[in-house]
Amino acid sequence: MLRSPYLARTSPPLAAAMSQPLLVSDLRKFHQTVIFKPLVHIKIQELCIIVAQSSSPTDIDNSIPNPLPGLLGAFSLPNLRTLEIRGVPWPHEEFKSFLTRSNCPLETVILGAELKIRRRQRAECVALIPSLQIIVSQSEAS
């Protein structure tokens, strides 16, 4: 089990969340996490973050906050090459901070069709990493 005294005082099973999918209850608690110092993980080269939405309108829980800003703030991934994000709004400022902090050789960002990234935001990301390729998928299948 991974343990870090820097990560959080209020976080529930953050270590468990790194080795298995996050559950709805975990997302509520993770959003409340106070990050003291990002966890550096030097081996992760590919990361896929998918926040699944229910297909039934009666099962949708709108009280769940976007976990992506917190996740991007919790980690520094200096060897990350590919990042895929689906199912959540684009957290532009947090992503730029993550890129700067990680100083990673990121080559490709794959965004779900539902994500909206403006041309200006794309240009700002490419200014940080000139070789970065941002792909917005046309379907939900990756």
At 52, the pLDDT band (50, 70, 90 cuts) reads confident
* pLDDT of 116 higher than 80: yes
* pLDDT of 84 higher than 60: yes
Per the model's pLDDT, the better-predicted residue between 35 and 46 turns out to be 46
Cα 12 to Cα 78: distance, rounded to the nearest angstrom = 25
* pLDDT of 9 higher than 70: no
Give the DSSP H or E segment for 128.
helix 119-128
Tell me what pLDDT residue 102 has.
95
Give the DSSP H or E segment for 136.
strand 133-136
Is-contact 31 67, C-beta < 8 A?
yes
Mean pLDDT in residue range 71-95: 92
Q: What is the mean pLDDT of the chain?
A: 75
pTM: 0.69
Could you tell me the CA-to-CA distances from 105 to 20, 50, 66, 70, 131 in Å, in that order? 25, 22, 26, 21, 9
